[in-house]
Amino acid sequence: MGNLLILFIASLGLCLFVALLYVLYNYWWVPHRVQFIMSSQGIRGPPYEFTHGNNKQILQMQKEAYSKPMALTHDIFPRVLPHVYSYIKKYGKNYLSWNGVQAQLVITDPELQGDSLVTSESEKRARQRKLANYAFHGESLKNMIPAIIASVETMLEKWKGKEGKEMEVFQEFGLLTSEMISRTAFSSSYLEGEKIFDMLMKLSAITGRNMYKAKILFIGKFWEPADEIESDKLAKMIHDSVMKIIKQKEEKVMTREADNFGRDFLGLLLNAYHDPDEKIRLSIQYVVGECKSSYFAGQKTSNSLLAWTILLLAINADWQDKARAEVIEVFGNQNPNSQGIAKLKIITMIINETLRLYPPVHGVLSIRYIALHHDPDLWGDDVHLFKPERFAEGIAKATYNNAAAFLPFGLGPRSCVGMSFSITKTKIPLSMILQRYTFTISPSYVHAPLPNLSLKPQHGLHLLFHSLH
């Protein structure tokens, strides 16, 4: 009995010792070694703290920044990414930070951007991009215009009678962009698409609030937090809903109610899923993933772009007048059409300047964009001013030929496949609003840009609309 007890205690001691070594190695030695190696290469950063890296400090800085609004200027970097702003000031444009034990090399020097953006592309991936490009460009995009206009008309119909009264339009634009994506990417299944979208929003909210939470040592392996259970549940429901739409489409083709899967994005993906050539056939996981990402990538970003563009025009009445004059010159009081959309030069300049000041991307990407787009070394002393005229002679001139300084849609094989689509679905509602209303900010508007899956006005976007007719 005595020997057994000693054996038990010795084994327990050994286990604890191995566990301690494991913790010290992974959570102390490795991060310190990485820090040392990077620093010898000239890359410094906020010091790693045991197990949580820089997360506590980052969360604290964010809490403080987001607890108060800012003045109505466009110098948003210190509020939106307070940690990146302060680390760049302290450690330079490229630095090393820690998300728990995960090292993150933050590169905001445009000289080094190009290499990090371009990655290699497999044959299958090239095909996937080709499909998305086909679905969201050229003739397909042209065919989407009536659906986009119908969505805007539904929104504007609701606005009738609200002239002169305060309206919160960020949510309005949220519904609009969601409907536009559902109608264009999923056509007939757009109601089901909107349900998926709702679930994706919940899922992304969970991801957002857990972004800087490091997993607790060991415990994470045995205990699943409520948020993780909820996100697994949502992920399954999203998968099932997408599968339901897919099955409906397949059934229609099998029962010959339809001759093909359709020319919308989902239809094109399904054709590729049924491709007889196994080498290039897409997996069902890919189809589901792609539906999710086009919603995810597309809705929040488009919502954000439209909202900040309208805000900037509400503040800058001169540019609002110029934009309206152009829209009336091109379309009169008619609905937008594809030839006219391509001619909107002033609107394009305004959209570019909005993308520069309020880049609608989130997560790690926002670091790259906000830091670059608000860098006075790249844009000059007027970097924080809304000056669409800097884009009058194109992007190359605006960036002094520094291609990496302005890449709101990314670059190379990973760049945004929805770029033309999102520009079109910004220009159409913008034109239709300008044709009908003048608008100003409401006295209750509080300026507080917040990175939340994209860049959103934290307290909403309160504007006053005055009918032109």
Nearer CB in complex with ligand HEM: 294/435: 294
Q: Give CA–CA dist 454/362, Å, rounded.
A: 5
Nearer CB in complex with ligand HEM: 125/252: 125
451 sits near ligand HEM (criterion: CB under 6 A) = no
- CA 346, 348, 354, 357 torsion-angle sign: negative
* Residue 457 dihedral angles phi and psi, to the nearest 5°: -75, 115
Number of residues that bind ligand HEM (CB under 6 A): 23
Write down the least CB distance from residue 421 to ligand HEM, Å.
5
Nearer CB in complex with ligand HEM: 88/132: 132
Site residues (CB under 6 A) for ligand HEM, limited to 258-317: 293-294, 297-298, 301-302, 305
Write down the least CB distance from residue 445 to ligand HEM, Å.
22
129 sits near ligand HEM (criterion: CB under 6 A) = yes
Q: SS3 string of 180-228?
A: HHHHHHHHHHHHHHHHHHHHHHHHHHHHHHCCCCCCCCCHHHHCCCHHH
Write down the least CB distance from residue 120 to ligand HEM, Å.
12
Q: Are 326 and 281 in contact, with CB atoms under 8 Å apart? A: no
195 sits near ligand HEM (criterion: CB under 6 A) = no
416 is in an annotated binding site: yes
Among 267, 360, 449, 460, binds ligand HEM (CB under 6 A): 360
Segment interacting with ligand HEM, rule: CB under 6 A, options 22-30, 91-99, 417-425, 455-463: 417-425
191 sits near ligand HEM (criterion: CB under 6 A) = no
Write down the least CB distance from residue 196 to ligand HEM, Å.
13
Among 173, 331, 391, 421, binds ligand HEM (CB under 6 A): 421
* 3-class state of residue 332 by DSSP: coil
Q: Give CA–CA dist 92/105, Å, rounded.
A: 12
Closest residue to ligand HEM using C-beta atoms: 418
Segment interacting with ligand HEM, rule: CB under 6 A, options 57-65, 200-208, 210-218, 402-410: 402-410
Number of Cβ atoms within 10 Å of the Cβ of 260: 11
Write down the least CB distance from residue 136 to ligand HEM, Å.
6
Nearer CB in complex with ligand HEM: 267/360: 360
Q: Are 435 and 152 in contact, with CB atoms under 8 Å apart? A: no
Number of Cβ atoms within 10 Å of the Cβ of 289: 15
* Contact code string over 205-244 relative to ligand HEM, x by CB under 6 A: ----------------------------------------
409 sits near ligand HEM (criterion: CB under 6 A) = yes
Q: Are 464 and 164 in contact, with CB atoms under 8 Å apart? A: yes
User: 139 CB contacts (<8 Å, ≥6 apart)?
Assistant: none
* 3-class state of residue 423 by DSSP: helix
Nearer CB in complex with ligand HEM: 297/378: 297
Among 107, 176, 416, 428, binds ligand HEM (CB under 6 A): 416
| Residue 244 CB burial class (10 angstroms; 0-12, 13-18, ≥19) | middle
- CA 376, 379, 380, 386 torsion-angle sign: negative
Q: Dig out the tokens for 426 from the structure.
A: 């910004």
Q: Are 347 and 427 in contact, with CB atoms under 8 Å apart? A: yes
Binding site for ligand HEM (CB under 6 A): 129, 132, 181, 293-294, 297-298, 301-302, 305, 360-361, 365, 408-410, 414-418, 421-422
Residues at the binding site for heme are 416
Residues at the binding site are 416
